[in-house]
Amino acid sequence: MRYAVIGTGIVGRTLAAKLASLGHRVAVGTRDVEQTLARTEPDGYGNPPYALWAAEHPEIELTGFAEAAAGADTVVNASLGSASIGALTAAGAENLAGKVLIDVANPLDFSNGMPPTLDPVNTDSLAESIQRAFPAARVVKTLNTMNCSVMVEPGRLAGPHEVFLCGDDEAAKKETAELLAAFGWPAGSVVDLGDLTAARGTEQLLPLWIRVWGALGTWDFNFHVQRA
């Protein structure tokens, strides 16, 4: 399969590397290839500049948003939530039409300082906003409730935990669930929450996730639904 990963941050890189390791052809999309490669400083979280990372991943191509999406069977949105609609608009509705669009982003709004709030929230979600903006894309929301290291290596945690999935296209959800299985998610750990409005719930987990991160002092965790 050919994947486009929209976003050059740590989440996009981690997913791109995992997809490439599974034998897929992967293009990372960015607004301005030259500008992305010209950066020499770590980002705000201490992650190395893209060019350094790219040197270790020569099999992963860096292209403009539209070129990445046009050449892909499946598109992964790993951009900042506040930038997602703009990035996907630049990718081009015609390059998303009919394709599975896996949205792992969260609508974190840092404009009021820390901790971030959510925008949209409550009666809407980022995933629904994307689906409305690109009605011919087959949006699946998943993986947005955990750190990216856990996304691609669920076995790093000490016991069972789950990844949530929702969307309006059943076949798109099935394809995404198969990809999650390839990432290492065991049978039964992929929880289908139903239609895309469930993204309101998974995106609204973020404020709690941030507080748990603060309480534990690590982001190496995920939520498990403990049953009777």
Return residues touching its own copies (CB under 8 A). 112, 115, 117-118, 121-123, 156-161, 164, 166, 191-194, 197-198, 200-202, 204-205, 207-212, 214-216, 218, 220-228
Nearer to its own copies by Cβ, of 24 and 161: the residue is 161
Q: What is the number of alpha carbons within 13 Å of residue 149 lying toward its C-beta?
A: 6
Task: Compute the least distance from the CB of residue 181 to its own copies, in Å.
Answer: 18
Task: Compute the least distance from the CB of residue 145 to its own copies, in Å.
Answer: 8
| Whether 203 contacts 126, CB under 8 Å | yes
Residue for token digits 């999650």? Answer: 180
* C-alpha to C-alpha distance for 124 and 196, rounded to whole angstroms: 10
Task: Compute the least distance from the CB of residue 204 to its own copies, in Å.
Answer: 4
Nearer to its own copies by Cβ, of 73 and 119: the residue is 119
| Whether 31 contacts 90, CB under 8 Å | yes
Residues 6 or more apart from 212 whose CB is under 8 A from it?
221
Task: Compute the least distance from the CB of residue 224 to its own copies, in Å.
Answer: 4
* C-alpha to C-alpha distance for 179 and 185, rounded to whole angstroms: 9
Nearer to its own copies by Cβ, of 6 and 108: the residue is 108
Nearer to its own copies by Cβ, of 102 and 118: the residue is 118
